[in-house]
Amino acid sequence: MRRRLALGSGAGAALIAALAISACGGGPTGISQIQAVNADCGDVQYAGSSKAQKLIVSDLPLKGDSAERSRQMNAAIIQELARKGWQAGQQIQLAFQACDDSLGTTGEWDEGLCRSNAQAYASNPDVIGVIGTYNSGCAAIEIPILNQAPGGGIPMVSPGNTLVCLTQTARTCKPNEPDVYYPSGKRNYVRVVPNDAVQGAGLASFAKEAGIQRPMVLIAADDPTSENQGRSFIGAAQSLGMQIAGVEHYDPNATSYAALMQKVKSSGADAVVLAAILEENGVQMIRDKVAALGPNSGAVKLLAFDGFAQQATIDNTGPVAQGMYVSLPGKVPSALTGAGEVFVKEVRAQLGDQPLEVFAPYAGQAAELLIEAIRKGDTRAGTIDELIGATVEDGITGTFTITASGDPEPAPISVQRADERFALARTIVPPPPLVGAARGG
């Protein structure tokens, strides 16, 4: 897929509209023929020149700590739709609806919502593609439902899922993964971000270069994604000659981690690696780490996976987060060039002083990939066929190919350092043998 650098003149207005998506009634003209998704979704968005024919939906957590990140991701999707004139080629007019997979009571994605959302998409004949999810656990629920949807399945493109087991085998995967997610026998899911084996290998490489020798790995209990991330880091770190000071699973509902941090201190660890997401009591974890082990730039470093790669990590913890390092699957916005640089400038112009969330360009990239596949494939099944093996040239996030497993290649990862905002420390493309050590299977 070759991308032109020019953005449509309606992109700025569309971005503003995206930042104000609500569940109120009404909607723009030109969508009367579209059947809206009957789920926890906002208004149907459309600004095309004729009647909308098909519907793209996003499925993201719009509440809690992830709200701002998801809001910007939806804005990026609408910006890309506007650049394309709200159409896939000259034949298919595309509308957009943003749906929520999180609960107001917890701010986290919810298994029941993920299931009911996917069922609503599958039963709506106008839905031709899903952009999402962000959380891999939600994707594990939605993928098989969409895989069996009428019309040969519904294509799903994720800008944020990193769990290896959704597409490949690994030491932490169940014996029936990933095949269990594709009951039809045909893959309908791809992602535009590297998976956790790549991220674990990259974060381990960074730790080695930073002189870390004895990291302690803390994993959120009962979370397959966090488990996979932690084990990926361990496999890569051990292959690089590091000694793991210990592995502990923590309760995300605990009120204090002071005792856990004393275990870290007794182990002689020179770093703490958090395999979790911010919503799993990450704020308390960071505060207790600094209180017990000192600042993150001191003797005991703090590293974390992409669940902490959002401005809310800094905003919600204050100065105690400063000096921690957070990995990200892919490139940070400031490292994007060509079409990506243009895209980022367009988004930043609408945000003012608000920091650009790192996953926003990947949401735009997911939209670009899906729209082009719809243009070529025309139907649900045809779009799926176009996604696997697709090549993006000078896309928002660079040039890459979607492999047979549904993963992007090449697969860089970034490491950022927290201050008042996150700043890029390193971009790493881990070698295949190290990624293999991270997967372990």
For the chain, what are the domain ranges?
A: 11-193+333-409, 197-329+414-439
User: What is the model's pLDDT at position 31?
Assistant: 64
Q: Is the pLDDT of residue 50 over 50?
A: yes
% the chain with pLDDT above 90: 87
Q: Is the pLDDT of residue 176 over 50?
A: yes
What confidence tier does 351 reach under pLDDT thresholds 50, 70, 90? confident
β-pairing verdict for 398-402 and 54-60: unpaired
382, exposed or middle or buried, with CB in 10 Å at 0-12, 13-18, 19+? middle
CA pair distance 171, 224, nearest whole angstrom: 12
Q: Is the pLDDT of residue 18 over 60?
A: no
- Hey, what long-range contacts does 175-178 have (CB within 8 A, 24 or more apart)? 178/405
| Residues in a beta bridge with 297 | none
% the chain with pLDDT above 70: 93
End-to-end CA distance of the chain: 32
Comparing 10 with 94, the larger pLDDT belongs to: 94
- Tell me the fold of 197-329+414-439: Rossmann fold (3.40.50)
Q: Is the pLDDT of residue 371 over 70?
A: yes
The average pLDDT across 337-359 equals: 90
Instruction: Give me the architecture of the 11-193+333-409 domain, per CATH.
Output: 3-Layer(aba) Sandwich (3.40)
Single-letter amino acid code for the residue at 431: P
Q: What is the pTM of this model?
A: 0.87
What confidence tier does 32 reach under pLDDT thresholds 50, 70, 90? low
Average pLDDT, the chain: 92
